Chain A
Amino acid sequence: MSTTTAPATAPEAEGHAGHDHHPPHLKHYFVSSDQQFDASKMGMWLFLLTEVLLFSGMFVAYIVYRAWHPEVFVKMSELLNPFWGGFNTLVLLGSSFSVALAIHYAQKNDNKKLVMNLAITLFCAGIFMVVKYIEYTDKFSHGIGMGEFFDPTGSYAQYAIPYAKQFFSIYFVMTGIHGFHVVIGMGIFTWLLIRARKGHFNSEYYTPVELAGLYWHLVDIIWIFLFPLLYLI
């Protein structure tokens, strides 16, 4: 499809005179670090879109059942404590802020602050999961579980109305999958923290931090929607 050929290595040297000729992180099938960074970032965005669509199925289920039985959903959301939900929202927003700062400092070659912000993010994720654990155990202790484990007892017995089960099925599946993502995120940030302490990242190469940040923001966005839908309205 072409009339001319050029040695494969030549363009790199000419086009990127200011860059390292072949930095260690650059894969051989990419022409430049920029190309590699952009490709990774675009790949991450596409992956995030698949996450959005994964959750969209749950949101559709929520909307359909809410449209059918609004009064049940309003009544059931009484059982979820908006204080803890709001607290968790703030915790996740804080971690989103810290991960944005982590990228900010990676770009500025400030490794100390990068490490600090990654640690804050990890810590916030931990708090989120602890709160979630408290909420879940509280629900389980009152006989509120998923599917056949939905059998409210004691003071909660009044909530055993038709379609209450659907609400809590949706609640547990949505928050469960979201919590699973938080746990995965904690694994990623632990790994990043170790690498950052070893000084692997700098303004030339911080792709993993950037990608993990995008992932973490998405986890945050999902929660931004889950909080009002499940706890408030």
Chain B
Amino acid sequence: MAAPGANYLNHDKSLWSWLTTVDHKRIGLMYLVAVSVAFLAAGVLALLVRVELIAPGQTIMSADTYNQVFTLHGVLMVFAFIIPAIPGALGNFVLPIQLGAKDVAFPRLNLASFYIYLVGMAFVLGALLIGEVDTGWTFYTPYSSAEGSNAVLMVTVGVFISGFASILTGMNFIVTVHKMRAPGLTWNRLPLFIWSIYATSIVQVLATPVIGITMVLLFLEKLTGIGIFDPALGGDPILFQHFFWFYSHPAVYIMILPAFGIISDVIAVFTRRPVQGYTFVALSSVAIAFLGFLVWGHHMFTSGQSAVSAIVFSLITYLIGIPTGVKVLNWVGTMYRGSIWLKTPMIYVLAFLFLFSIGGFTGIMLGVLSVDIHLHDTYFVVAHFHYVMMGGTVIAGLAGIHYWWPKMTGRMYNETMGQIAAAFIFVGFNITFFTQFVLGSQGMPRRYYDYVGVMDTMPYFETLHAISTYGSWILALGLFMVLGYLMASIWTGKKAPANPWGALTLEWTHTTPMPDPHNFTFQPIVTRGPYDYHLADEIFGDGGDGMGDGATVPSLAPEARPEVTPS
């Protein structure tokens, strides 16, 4: 047992203890730092892309540089940031505590996954920086295999390696959820964050190996010309797209499903109501995970695949709308007659509901075969997936970071700054990407360096691009504010109580403000659901902060609470 007052951050402060830690909380923090760095780097690249497009013709970079910059942006955002972000950082930190476990099932594999991720990313970054890769993040053959620089080889190795990190995380979480739940924590008492991470993990385990073999084949195709994908050698480039999207479409659910979990948890806590339709919300995550395996061909409507498969893919794509709609409906239903507490995490949830709905509906539009023929590879698609990925995953990730920040760092961030930044992000985001819907529907192709050719017929392209670029600056300002005040809070923030939000899940009710190295002093025993506020009187009666000091809480607002240090 650790010394009194010790927590997972201060019980051993040496660098070596961090590098060799098997503590899921520390690994989660290391993931958080790594993915934040990736997000920062890829975000700066996105700003450069936007600046280049602010006016027709060359603005700040050459066409070749532009191709490399958007490739780097895509690869980093997808493989280095958004796939590992929520499972790796928040999932690692929160999931075992929410389960009432001392750690994940395989802590050493968990640490291995982090290092594998770093090695994979080192390969990817090295290749992209040294070797001038301009294939886009999808590496379509034959351009990637027959043309382009040999650095593609290094990227494929990097993606292959980082796949193992994803697999190990997924395996670990599935086994942990199955085998290490606290006494009384039945499947229908699992917090919805766990359900969604669980569904994500299923996808990670089942889909990621296919990108592995795809990368092996691409590697060999480029190295020795095995003729599987290269049409000049008798291969079939569309087969590459099948292989690639068999992973990469489920991978978009790896990106968005954890976000759903955060939204469910946060919305229940900040409306003080159980999530409406708990079972439906939980199972819809699993349904999305499996349906996600059946629709990969909707990325290939214009690729030359058969009309039969295009029609089938289009039909199944509509089905995805059902479980997603179930979720959004239930989230909105949860807020109805709830006692909504508009703190920063909840503001992000509201932003999510708005942005994700737009992203989702445009997704259904793009799933319509005939419409997609027109919109494929235009800015409409770019806007759609940014609404889902950035407006969905990143916004939900921000909600989650603000929600769990007091537990991670033991400090409260500046609430006013948080709300202002959220407003900047919401406004900036919409300005940036809504204009792209218009651009795309007018025919602006994605990945294009220039649009000078249409300036005489469609001069408003320049205006729209310029507005989009200005929006990206507002968005960036908001994000940098978040970075700033979160960092500042570590040193200057108010000390957080153990349960500042009055949440009912184990990470809030049964740990000290910053958790013990082994999470719990006592094995928690669960007797009710994760959002059963009507059954939680005894918790709030006991002070509600998990310290067992008997202090009652007059108001749940953190500023109204007495400062308590754990003994």
Q: Interface of A with B (CB < 8 Å)?
A: 1-8, 10-11, 28-30, 35, 38-39, 42-43, 46-47, 49-58, 60-61, 64-65, 146-149, 162-163, 165-166, 169-170, 173, 177
Show 27 A/B contacts (Cβ-Cβ < 8 Å), sorted by A: A1-B505, A1-B510, A1-B524, A2-B184, A8-B522, A10-B523, A29-B102, A30-B180, A39-B176, A43-B105, A43-B175, A47-B167, A50-B171, A50-B209, A51-B209, A53-B207, A54-B209, A54-B212, A57-B217, A60-B242, A61-B239, A65-B228, A147-B224, A147-B227, A166-B227, A166-B234, A169-B220
CA distance in complex: A52, B207 (Å): 11
B214 close to A (CB within 8 Å): yes
Contacting residue for A165 out of B109, B182, B184, B226, CB 8 A: B226
Minimum Cβ distance to chain B for residue A74 (Å): 17
Contacting residue for A43 out of B106, B506, B524, B528, CB 8 A: B106
Minimum Cβ distance to chain A for residue B221 (Å): 8
Residues of B contacting A11 in the complex (Cβ-Cβ under 8 angstroms): 183, 523
Residues of A contacting B242 in the complex (Cβ-Cβ under 8 angstroms): 60
Q: Interface of B with A (CB < 8 Å)?
A: 100-103, 105-107, 109, 167, 170-172, 174-176, 178-180, 182-185, 189, 205-210, 212-214, 216-217, 220-221, 223-228, 233-236, 239, 242-243, 246, 504-506, 509-510, 518, 520-528, 530, 538-539
Is B523's CB under 8 angstroms from A5's CB?
yes
Residue of B nearest to A43 (CB): B175
CA distance in complex: A64, B526 (Å): 52
Q: Given A1-B526, A54-B209, is A39 in contact with B226 using a C-beta cutoff of 8 Å?
A: no
Residue of B nearest to A38 (CB): B179
Is A1's CB under 8 angstroms from B217's CB?
no
Residue of A nearest to B246 (CB): A57
Residues of B contacting A50 in the complex (Cβ-Cβ under 8 angstroms): 167, 171, 205-206, 208-209
Residues of B contacting A165 in the complex (Cβ-Cβ under 8 angstroms): 226-227, 233-234
Is A2's CB under 8 angstroms from B213's CB?
no
In the complex, besides A39-B176, A56-B210, A162-B234, 18 extra interface pairs with C-beta distance below 8 angstroms are: A1-B524, A1-B528, A2-B509, A3-B525, A3-B539, A4-B525, A7-B522, A8-B522, A39-B179, A43-B105, A43-B171, A46-B170, A56-B209, A61-B217, A61-B239, A65-B228, A146-B220, A165-B233
Residues of B contacting A163 in the complex (Cβ-Cβ under 8 angstroms): 234
Nearest first, the 5 A-B pairs at minimum CB distance are A147-B224, A57-B213, A169-B226, A5-B522, A29-B102
Residue of B nearest to A170 (CB): B228
Is B523's CB under 8 angstroms from A8's CB?
yes
